[in-house]
Structure 1
Amino acid sequence: MLKDITKQSLQPEVKELLSYSVFPDPEAVDRAASFYQTGNGRLFGYEEDGLLLGIIGFDVVRNELIIRHLAVLPENRGLGYGRGLILELLLEVEPKPDAIIAEIDEEAVDFYRSIGFEVYSMGEQYPGIERFRCVYEVEKAGD
């Protein structure tokens, strides 16, 4: 079940999931958690049998839904939860965005490409680290 957990972003189980989607550094995790406390970002979690299995954090800029954080517990990866988080979020968000955007590292390229995102290289953003921009154009009702 997808639920809004924005106000719970500082809880240990949420920060653990956030840690999988940022540079593995306690300060980066704290910044990510604080983003949802102080900014315009929203954070949703997928819970099953009382266990938080995954999170998706986002904000909306100029009618584009920007995925800031997406993570699933390691033992539940490859089971469709990441794709499900994106699809369920799209059902929840109003008004519907024109596009979903994510900026990612190379290890997530295959995931985003496999669920229909167009993937573009942004080049080397940090020494030795290539980043990618993933774009999914949302079909509107009646299109």
Structure 2
Amino acid sequence: MKEITSPAVSPSIKKLLSYATLEEKVNEEYKKYVCLPSRKLCSMEVNEETVSCIGVEFLNSKKAVIKHIAVLPKERGKGIGSNMISFFCEKYDIHSIFAETDKEAVNFYSKFGFQITSLGEKYLGIERFLCEFKIK
């Protein structure tokens, strides 16, 4: 995993972030990772190809929120997303990590061990979920 600090977003990171947020918000979100000290964006490469990224916002020294997590479709199901979460928790000694997501990603977080709570229909016709993982 490598931390991304470049002021310009690369095409591969732009593509990955577009899986995790609206395409029109990618540049704005990327800028937050570069400018805000509370945010970190990291990527993972396989055979010199950027295949995933994870963006985290630190709420305090032991608590963080996953803002974005994405893996190229051809690389999904190989444990890459789980490895990225584990990496962040270990590297930054995170004791509690959260994510808000849609129904599509609930199984991913549930398999990792996150507790899932429905937030109801937060947007018209779209149910959202709070996923929380506490490290003992």
The reply to whether TM is greater than 0.5 is yes
* C-alpha distance in structure 2 between counterparts of 1:86 and 1:137, whole Å: 12
Task: Say which of 97, 101, 107 aligns to 2:98.
Answer: 101
For residue 7 of structure 1, give the secondary structure of its aligned residue in structure 2. Answer: coil
Percent identity of the aligned residues?
36
**Superposition RMSD on alpha carbons, in Å?**
1.4
Per-residue Cα deviation, 1:29-76 (whole angstroms, up to 9, x for no partner): 112211212223110111122111110100110331110000001110
1:129 aligns with 2:126: yes
Match of 1:86 in 2: 85
* C-alpha distance in structure 2 between counterparts of 1:8 and 1:71, whole Å: 20
Aligned length: 134
* C-alpha distance in structure 2 between counterparts of 1:91 and 1:8, whole Å: 26
Match of 1:38 in 2: 35
Q: Give 5+ residue unaligned stretches, structure 2.
A: none
1:1-143 alignment runs, 5 A limit: 2-7=1-6, 10-23=9-22, 25=23, 27-39=24-36, 40-62=38-60, 63-93=62-92, 96-139=93-136
| Shift >3 Å, 4+ stretches | none
Residues 9 and 33 of structure 1: CA distance in aligned 2, closer, same or farther (over 3 Å): farther
Paired residues of 2:7 and 2:31 also in contact (CA < 8 A): no
Residues 18 and 117 of structure 1: CA distance in aligned 2, closer, same or farther (over 3 Å): same
What's the TM-score once normalised by structure 1's chain length? 0.87
How far off is 1:118 after superposition? 0.2
Paired residues of 1:121 and 1:132 also in contact (CA < 8 A): yes
The amino acid across from 2:16 in the alignment is: L
Per-residue Cα deviation, 1:96-115 (whole angstroms, up to 9, x for no partner): 22201001111000110011
Paired residues of 1:106 and 1:130 also in contact (CA < 8 A): yes
Q: Give 5+ residue unaligned stretches, structure 1.
A: none
Residues 20 and 9 of structure 1: CA distance in aligned 2, closer, same or farther (over 3 Å): farther
